[in-house]
Amino acid sequence: MSSRASLRLNSVPRVWEGEAPAEPRSRVQTYRSCPARQEPRPPGIAHARLGAVLAGLSLLLAACPGEASAAPIRKGDLVVTSSDDTKVQSEYNVLATLPADTALVVEDVQNDWVLVRTRKGGKELRGFIHVENLRRPAMLAHANPRGFTLKYPAGWKVASADERSDVARDVKRYFEKMGDLDPSKLPVMVFNPVEDDFIENINCAVGSGSVPQVDEDGAKRFVKGVSDAFDKLGTPLAGARAEMIQIGSKKAISAHWDLTVKDVKGPIHQWQVVIPGKSQVYVFTCSALASQFERYEPLFSVVIQSIEVDGAAAKS
């Protein structure tokens, strides 16, 4: 084999954004049936259609009797990275590296490679992670006597009354103008118990007052009201915005903003979702450092989409 043909065989294929053009026939193609190096590599983004067929085949094989194995990762699953410096790749190109416990939502599965969407430097990117570097966290159910249920990841914790009181003391220290507001009376707070610069959490407040108008105009009024309230607390919001989303069969207001408070390293990003009930309104707030929010957003999204309201929930 000529050195030119050898070089052609070992080169990395190009990743095509659309359909790859047909390659003209040449004698190089006659070598492609020969064994080549077998090191694993992620597929290119353009191969997703073929990957869907292969994923279906792998599911059929997994269903056959044989060696016991965990349920396969499927499209739409919530997964987290299981090791530090997990590589997100396309072909041989490393698009990004992610720390352990980064939450992601599966877009597709191609053999041992899982297609995910993430962000780097504020820009969205799609790439593959080897299945050995991912795990699917168990989800636990919480049923609250205030009439809602949700699912949260195993490893996170539902705060006890004492822990909610500790949080309330900290919040009142951050916001000295809170007045009679008492975060310890929140129906539930679920948090990441791993010690860090900030404790990521999801909490819920339930109000029995008038249900807000759930449309585009209502979303604008809502975010303006929240901005005005934080202004009175002496903590103006940055980048406050709102839109409409769907939670199950209900329309909801989804709002995002950043805020800076003393004694916290860097701004906090909050995602607040307002879901109207029959006679009360449910407000769920997801919080993380702004620098880490992209890492936790897929996990927050799965929790938010699991919420059901107006149910006859029993105490957990």
Reported in sequence order, the residue ranges of the chain that DSSP labels E, i.e. its strands, are: 78-81, 86-90, 93-98, 103-110, 113-120, 123-130, 134-135, 139-144, 148-153, 157-158, 188-191, 201-207, 238-247, 250-259, 268-276, 281-289, 308-309
What phi and psi, each to the nearest 5 degrees, are found at residue 76?
95, -10
**Burial category of 176 from C-beta neighbours within 10 Å (exposed 0-12, middle 13-18, buried 19 and up):** exposed
- Strands 148-153, 103-110: pairing is unpaired
Element (H, E) at 53: helix 48-63
> Would you call 300 helix, strand, or coil by DSSP?
helix
> Residue 203 has which token pair?
């909490």
Distance CA 104, CA 299 (A): 7
Distance CA 79, CA 71 (A): 13
> Would you call 29 helix, strand, or coil by DSSP?
helix
Output the CA torsion 245→248→251→253 (10° steps): -50
CA torsion sign for 73, 79, 83, 87 is: positive
The pTM score is: 0.68
Q: Which domains are seen in the chain, by residue range?
A: 46-62+71-135 (2.30.30.40), 139-309 (3.40.1000.10)
Contacts of 118 (CB under 8 A, 6+ apart): 88, 96, 98, 102, 104, 124, 125, 126, 127, 294
For every residue of 117-186, DSSP letters joined together read EEEETTEEEEEEEEGGGEE---EEEEEETTTEEEEEEBTBEEPPHHHHHHHHHHHHHH-TT-TT--GGG-
Neighbouring CB atoms inside 10 A of 42's CB total 26
**CA 89 → CA 95, 104, 133, 296, 315, distances in Å?**
5, 15, 12, 20, 45
Contacts of 76 (CB under 8 A, 6+ apart): 105, 106
Distance CA 43, CA 130 (A): 10
Would you give per-residue pLDDT tens digits along the chain (316 residues)? 444 433 333 332 233 454 444 443 333 333 233 233 334 566 655 444 333 333 333 333 323 333 333 678 888 888 999 988 999 999 889 999 998 888 888 999 998 999 998 877 777 888 999 999 999 888 999 999 999 999 998 889 999 988 888 777 766 666 655 555 566 678 999 998 876 778 899 999 998 766 678 899 999 999 999 999 889 888 899 999 999 999 988 999 999 999 988 777 889 999 999 999 888 899 999 999 998 898 889 999 999 999 999 864 433 3
Core vs surface per residue 258-267: b (16+ CB within 10 A) or e: bbeeeeeeeb
**Which of 71, 59, 75, 74 lies closest to 107, judged by CA?**
75
Chain centre to alpha carbon of residue 171: 26
Core vs surface per residue 52-91: b (16+ CB within 10 A) or e: eeebeeeeeeeeeeeeeeeeebeeebbbbbeeeebbbbbb
> Would you call 56 helix, strand, or coil by DSSP?
helix
